[in-house]
Amino acid sequence: MAIVTDRKPRQRNPRGQGEKLRDDIIEAASDLLADPASPPLTLRAVARGVGVAATSVYLHFDDVASLILAVAERRFGELAKQQDLALDGVVDPAERMRAGCLAYCEFGLAHPGNYQVMFVTQSEPLMAIPVEQMPGYAVFERLVDEVAAYQGLAPDAPEAFVTATIIWQQLHGIVSLRISRRRFPWPPLEPTVTDAITRILGAPTQ
Amino acid sequence: MAIVTDRKPRQRNPRGQGEKLRDDIIEAASDLLADPASPPLTLRAVARGVGVAATSVYLHFDDVASLILAVAERRFGELAKQQDLALDGVVDPAERMRAGCLAYCEFGLAHPGNYQVMFVTQSEPLMAIPVEQMPGYAVFERLVDEVAAYQGLAPDAPEAFVTATIIWQQLHGIVSLRISRRRFPWPPLEPTVTDAITRILGAPTQ
DNA sequence: TGTACATCAGTGAACGCGCGTTCACTGATGTAC
DNA sequence: TGTACATCAGTGAACGCGCGTTCACTGATGTAC
């Protein structure tokens, strides 16, 4: 994506809409991070991508780490939306599990570079956030709820939490291994996801 | 680890042992990458770590990516050794599965920064390697063998490959999620590993 | 209706720094004769 | 036993570049009176 050359002139936002630049910066950073093998993100590269002076990034972000955190949060929001779409109108708990997990993997593999950023190792801004506000926490909570529904448990049952954790680990393994070992002879995605979660969940207990 | 200050003088290797520097460089790079939140590795930082001129790194590595690949290969070798130790004298297939998987996770969590490097996204030198020589391939092959033994299958049975893949995904998920989400309330490692692989494997078919 | 002022949304030059890479060089140790 | 030469295991200065960060500045648009 986006080499040095794209310097569309970009005209200044009208009064009262200065926050629009924040959005543009996040999108430019996403683009630069789209390739999973992309070099470390720099503030100046982002500014070039937006078509703005390097100093303008400071108007909205303290540093590169905060910007990367914002990218991660936005992408998790999009992942949640994709899952909403995939689950819309689906009522069977087993089918909901399958559809939600598949949507997770498909999203991750469709945005490999951004997926990596979503699970980047702790930066200072990330460590300052309480665990329930961590990027991706809502996605995990949804998974716990789906597991509880599938297994006929209360949403706060410890067993649902444990099972959801194992599924999350599985989905994350599926996505991140396929990103980092592209030449491995991976089986097709959909049967793998179905097979794995079927093994982990066992038969439904409803 | 290892800030700028460590400039032990280091004396030149005796004749015929120039390859010793290669080892020292790999170890210095490992140290610099030990923290999972460490900044991008630079050639000059590695040289400082070894106590050698920046140019000396070129005597053994074409570039930083090749050096990182060498670190990954070495760490996979150590992982295999750790698994050897954990499996030594264990004969029960179920117990071997458990011990091998646990050793994998413990190794990864003991070396979080290096574990990330072992699964770093494709670099040019990595892409030039055939899949059977990829770092970690031997570890995966051992896993396939253990699965086959556990399930009473031939080592080249497709079912063993599929199951081993699902287990690998699970182990990688366990390790890398715990590295990148340190503040999540993870359950204790050992029961999680046992629980997960039991679900994935089902009852032994021997 | 003017007009002074405040605010907003940025700009642009300049700085010092660490980086990868090049190039010719060094000095100890072995080897041929 | 000498001695010339080759090889090995590095060194050290120099380069140009992109980076994060600072600082004072700009120019359009709204607001008070």
Q: What is the pLDDT of residues A144-197, one digit of tens each?
A: 999 999 999 999 999 999 999 999 999 999 999 999 999 999 999 999 999 999
Residue B114 has pLDDT above 60, yes or no: yes
Count how many pairs of residues, chain A against chain B, have C-beta atoms within 8 Å.
109
pLDDT per residue over A44-73, tens digit each?
Answer: 999 999 999 999 999 999 999 999 999 999
What's residue B129's pLDDT? 93
- Confidence label for B188 from pLDDT (cuts 50, 70 and 90): very high
Residue entry with tokens 């494997």: B201
What's residue B5's pLDDT? 44
3-state secondary structure B167-185: HHHHHHHHHHHHHHCCCCC
Neighbouring residues of A166: CB distance < 8 A, sequence distance ≥ 6: A200, B170, B192, B195, B196, B199
- Confidence label for A8 from pLDDT (cuts 50, 70 and 90): low
**Which nucleotide C1' is nearest B64 CA?**
C20
Pick A180's closest partner by Cβ from B40, B120, B177: B120
Rounded distance, CA A93 to CA A62, Å? 44
Q: DSSP label at A72?
A: H
What's residue B41's pLDDT? 97
Q: DSSP label at B29?
A: H
What's residue A6's pLDDT? 44
Residue A206 has pLDDT above 70, yes or no: no
Q: Judge whether A194 is closer than 8 Å to chain B, CB to CB.
A: no
Residue B144 has pLDDT above 90, yes or no: yes
What's residue A171's pLDDT? 99
Mutation pick from A166, A178, A201 vs chain B, by most beta carbons of B within 10 Å, is: A166
Do the Cβ atoms of A148 and A157 come closer than 8 Å? yes
Residue B2 has pLDDT above 50, yes or no: no
Rounded distance, CA B179 to CA B176, Å? 5
Return the exposure string of A134-160: e unless at least 16 CB atoms fall within 10 Å of the residue's CB, then b: bbbbebbebbbbbbbbbbebeeeeeeb
- Confidence label for B122 from pLDDT (cuts 50, 70 and 90): confident
pLDDT per residue over B13-61, tens digit each?
Answer: 999 899 999 999 999 999 999 999 999 999 999 999 999 999 999 999 9
Q: Judge whether B30 is closer than 8 Å to chain A, CB to CB.
A: no
Residue B6 has pLDDT above 60, yes or no: no
Neighbouring residues of B17: CB distance < 8 A, sequence distance ≥ 6: none
B166 contacts in A (CB within 8 Å)? Answer: 170, 192, 195-196, 199
Do the Cβ atoms of B33 and B117 come closer than 8 Å? yes
Residue B104 has pLDDT above 70, yes or no: yes
Pick B36's closest partner by Cβ from A121, A127, A180: A121
Return the exposure string of B50-64: e unless at least 16 CB atoms fall within 10 Å of the residue's CB, then b: bebeeeebeebbeeb
Low-confidence winner among A137-146, B2-11, B75-84, B135-144 (lowest mean pLDDT) = B2-11
Rounded distance, CA A12 to CA B81, Å? 60
If phi > 0 it is left, if psi is from -120 to 50 it is alpha, else beta; for residue A13 that is: beta
Neighbouring residues of B115: CB distance < 8 A, sequence distance ≥ 6: B36, B75, B107, B108, B109, B175, B176, B179
Rounded distance, CA A109 to CA B160, Å? 25
Considering only residues A156 and B2, tell me which one the structure prediction assigns the higher pLDDT: A156
Nearest residue to B70 (alpha-carbon basis) of B37, B30, B106: B30
A180 contacts in B (CB within 8 Å)? Answer: 119-122
What's residue B8's pLDDT? 58
pLDDT per residue over B65-89, tens digit each?
Answer: 999 999 999 999 999 999 999 999 9
Residue A56 CB closer than 7 angstroms to strand C?
yes
Do the Cβ atoms of B82 and B72 come closer than 8 Å? no
- Confidence label for B134 from pLDDT (cuts 50, 70 and 90): very high
Rounded distance, CA A120 to CA A69, Å? 9
Pick B180's closest partner by Cβ from A36, A121, A165: A121
- Confidence label for A10 from pLDDT (cuts 50, 70 and 90): confident
Which DSSP string corresponds to B65-127?
Answer: HHHHHHHHHHHHHHHHHHHHHHHTT---HHHHHHHHHHHHHHHHHHSHHHHHHHT----HHHH
pLDDT per residue over A84-128, tens digit each?
Answer: 999 999 999 999 999 999 999 999 999 999 999 999 988 889 999
